[in-house]
A and B are shown apart, each in its own frame.
Chain A
Amino acid sequence: MTHIETSVIYNDQEYDQYEYMVQEEEWDRDLLLDPAWEKQQRKTFTAWCNSHLRKAGTQIENIEEDFRNGLKLMLLLEVISGERLPKPDRGKMRFHKIANVNKALDFIASKGVKLVSIGAEEIVDGNVKMTLGMIWTIILRFAIQDISVEETSAKEGLLLWCQRKTAPYRNVNVQNFHVSWKDGLAFCALIHRHRPDLIDYSKLNKDDPLGNLNLALEIAEKHLDIPKMLDAEDIVNTPKPDERAIMTYVSCFYHAFAGAEQAETAANRICKVLGVNQENEKLMEEYERLASQLLEWIRRTIPWLENRTPEKTMVSMQQKLEDFRDYRRMHKPPKVQEKCQLEINFNTLQTKLRISNRPAFMPSEGKMVSDIASAWQNLEQAEKGYEEWLLNEIRRLERLEHLAEKFRQKASIHESWAQDKEKILSRKDYESASLTEVRALLRKHEAFESDLAAHQDRVEQIAAIAQELNELDYHAVAEVNERCQRICDLWDKLGTMTQKRREALERTEKLLETIDQLFLEFAKRAAPFNNWMEGAMEDLQDMFIVHTVEEIQSLISAHEQFKATLPEADSERQAILGIQNEIQKISHSYNIVLSLTNPYSTIKSEGISAKWDKVKQLVPQRDQALQEELARQHSNERLRRQFAAQANVIGPWIQKKMEEIAHSSIEMSGTLEDQMTQLKQYEHVIVNYKPNIDKLEGDHQLIQESLIFDNKHTNYTMEHIRVGWELLLTTIARTMNEIETQILTRDAKGISQEQMNEFRASFNHFDRKKKGGMETDDFRACLISMGYDLGEVEFARIMTLVDPNGSGIVSFQSFIDFMTRETADTDTAEQVIASFRILAGDKPYILAEELRRELPPEQAQYCITRMPAYTGPGKAPGALDYSSFSTALYGESDL
């Protein structure tokens, strides 16, 4: 038994195939004795060699024989290694054959295979086992050792490969290189895995191993260029197929598919590389494209950012700002991202290129990273510049708009103020105004002037703003300037007009003042003059009542004096009228249209003239009147004298007579009758004197008709005389009456003359004032002297009796009455009552027919109407109470 030890050294790897070899050895030992496996091996190895030798255009038929000379062996090696072996010896001698085989073995050994106990002689000798072993070594070395599947190589690798490939096939389980392959499904699976088009795996059946194997063998030969190295029946019938044979056949599958796989892998790699290339190229293209795009965008954008055309309005500027914001917010970020992406792409690309050992990417001219970076920088700078510019512009526009608005506002305000000022200033209202009105206008004008001054700096402000707008290059500055100019022009105009108006007003004021002064002058002089004239007129027309010549003469002299003042008055009049003319002249010459009414006076010059004429007219009238009066007065004087002459005689005469009469009654010389006679004489004289009185009356009448009311030539007025005369008449009559009464009384009361004289004497004594009557005190004293001590009450009663009229004077008659009454016995009322009783037949009442019977009808009727009805006892119808009637007659009743 040959010990084959093979250790294969792989580069750095060195794995001990000892175990494997041990197993191999075991199998070897076992099957060495088994001709089945020898048969299998032989078939399989032969087929394998032929598959290679075919490429050299040769074949072997018998594996132990055909390799004996070593030539085909060397050929085989050359084919499977692809290397040239040393030239074979072309001899037929044994040693040539051995040499060739050694060359072959050396070659094998040079491939790192340790051939142990395989000698050239055995091979030359045609040792089957040795030859098979050697072929197996070659196969192992050149077909199987190379196999590397995921860092697992040779047999394990091959096994791993088989497992991997057959993994999807559930009914296949490759664990080894013998029994796992018996049902043939593994082969079919392998084929199907790589070339599903060659086999319909679903139709295969596990229970038909033969069929499966044959099918696999057939397909492999036909389509995969793998000769049939196995015998299907052998495999099926052998409980454990030869491992090596299986391995060999399977390795052919490996090489066929793995090669394809390798090709695939290579193709993949190429594709991958190419793909990478393509990808890189795409990336480069992409880079270029993006770079172009970006640069283009930047190129487009920068001018937009560098555009410095100013906008007119803030709104459109703000819109621009808004656009810029949009740009920053919406348009730029994606571009930033693009740039970023570009950079990333570039870096990625470079990295990829570097990793895949390619040259670094050089972008085309102008698209270099630096270009992009600088372009980007420019962009950003432009942005900054743009933003700044935008903000500045907005500020500027804001300011401009603000200014423009300010201008507009101020201009509007000013314009509206100035609007009507022009009209106001051009008014000619002062032409027809009065002085006070003109003064008021002047004051108003002053106020206006200060208002104007106040507006001066406003106009200046407006101009300043306009100036600034010009400097700042406002878009609508032309309009502004125009307006400003209008305002300034109007302003100047207003200034001029104001000045003119002031002058006009002042001028008018002066004139009006002058006129006013004149008016005042006029008034001051006209009023007194007018008064004087009116006074004069009054005086001239004055109804005078004069009673004396002196009076009229004084009037006349006053009149003369008055006439003397006329020339002076006339000149005054002319002066006054002169003033009026002056006024008119001024107002005409200066065209002042005001009503020339004098505010200080209502007196008109026409009025003055008229009055003056009147006065002039009245003077002679007065003269005449005065003269007439003078004449009248003279005549009156004559009458007065005439009257006086008479009155001065009559008056005293009457006086004398009065005294005589009074004296006589007081004197009490002689009897009453004597007195009476004397009185009668007086009476006679008096009566005879009457014509004098009448004459006087006649003169008096004349005097009265001439309206003479006084007479200084006599103290006696007609009234005096008349009264005196009448008094004389009455006195004489009364005195006579008194005497008569005294006579009667004396006779009635039986008073003797002596008594009478006594009464008279005491009366005269107590008539202290000798007036013919006693005063109350006198009377009281008189009574006391006669022994009547009276109380206050009684005296009062007596006073009422003697002085019923309350005159305070007790006349001699009443004195006598009182005295006689007091000394009389009877109560007169009683007497009357007694008389009535007699007539009534002693009844306490009387009847009407009784009265009529006894008294004269008149008296009877008197009694009947006045007597009250009797209401006493025993009254009868028609009874009249004569008692109360009687007492009532005397004014006294006892009740």
Chain B
Amino acid sequence: MDLYSVTLEGPAPWGFRLQGGKDFNMPLTVSRLTPGGKAAQQNVGVGDWVVSIDGVNAEGLTHVEAQNKIKACTDRLSLTLSR
């Protein structure tokens, strides 16, 4: 398990599908990547866990909360992920 961080330059879309959340009893993961999208360009991997969003710990966030947090980042999105 290793952590890594990416900073995607805005604006959205970031080019990945977020799955999971506290309410689903599943960790927040990247379930899909848009080929050639911003996330794919930064070498984000499918199945990686999202550890923090914009510096905020993602553990305990519901899907909607995580989704909103990501949507709140317009110019730049900083993520810490775990392979």
Q: Which residues of A contact B (CB under 8 A)?
A: 793-794, 796-797, 800, 804-805, 866, 868, 871, 884-885, 887-888, 891-895
Contact = CB atoms under 8 A, between A and B. Distances in A.
A796 B83 CA distance: 13
Contacts of A805: 25
Given A797-B46, A892-B17, A884 B25 contact: no
Given A797-B46, A884-B68, A884-B71, A891 B16 contact: no
A895 B16 contact: yes
A895 B67 contact: yes
Contacts of A894: 13, 16-18, 32
B17 A893 contact: yes
Nearest to A894: B17
Contacts of B20: 891
6 contacts: A794-B46, A871-B71, A884-B64, A888-B67, A891-B20, A893-B67
Q: Is the interface of B mostly helix, strand, loop or mixed?
A: mixed
B68 A892 contact: no
Nearest to B66: A893
Contacts of A866: 64
Per CB-CB distance, the 6 closest pairs between chain A and chain B, nearest first, are A888-B64, A888-B63, A891-B24, A793-B46, A893-B67, A892-B19
What interface size band does chain B fall in? 20 to 34
Contacts of A887: 63, 67
Contacts, number: 63
Given A800-B29, A891-B20, 19 more contacts: A800-B19, A868-B64, A868-B68, A871-B72, A884-B68, A885-B64, A888-B63, A888-B67, A891-B19, A891-B21, A891-B63, A892-B19, A893-B63, A894-B13, A894-B16, A894-B32, A895-B16, A895-B70, A895-B71
A895 B70 CA distance: 8
Interface in B1-34: 12-14, 16-21, 24-26, 29, 31-32
Given A891-B19, A893-B17, A884 B46 contact: no
Contacts of B13: 894-895
Nearest to A800: B26
B80 to A, nearest CB: 16
Contacts of A794: 46
A804 B47 contact: no
A805 B17 CA distance: 21
A895 B12 contact: yes
A868 B64 CA distance: 8
A59 to B, nearest CB: 203
Given A800-B26, A895-B71, A888 B16 contact: no
Contacts of A797: 31-32, 46-47
A148 B17 CA distance: 198
A822 to B, nearest CB: 15
Contacts of A868: 64, 67-68
Contacts of B12: 895
B64 A793 contact: no
Contacts of B25: 804-805
B46 A895 contact: no
A892 B67 CA distance: 9
A871 B12 CA distance: 13
Nearest to A796: B47
Given A793-B47, A892-B17, A892-B18, A884 B67 contact: yes
A793 B45 CA distance: 9
A888 B19 CA distance: 8
Contacts of B68: 868, 884
A804 B64 CA distance: 19
A794 B70 CA distance: 24
Residue from the set A793, A800, A884, A893 with the largest chain B CB neighbour count within 10 Å: A893
B73 to A, nearest CB: 10
A885 B62 CA distance: 11
Nearest to B74: A871
A8 to B, nearest CB: 188
B81 to A, nearest CB: 14
A895 B68 CA distance: 10
Contacts of B24: 804, 891
A893 B13 CA distance: 12
B10 to A, nearest CB: 12
A892 B14 contact: no
A879 to B, nearest CB: 14
Nearest to A797: B31
Contacts of B16: 894-895
Given A797-B31, A868-B68, A887-B67, A893 B18 contact: yes
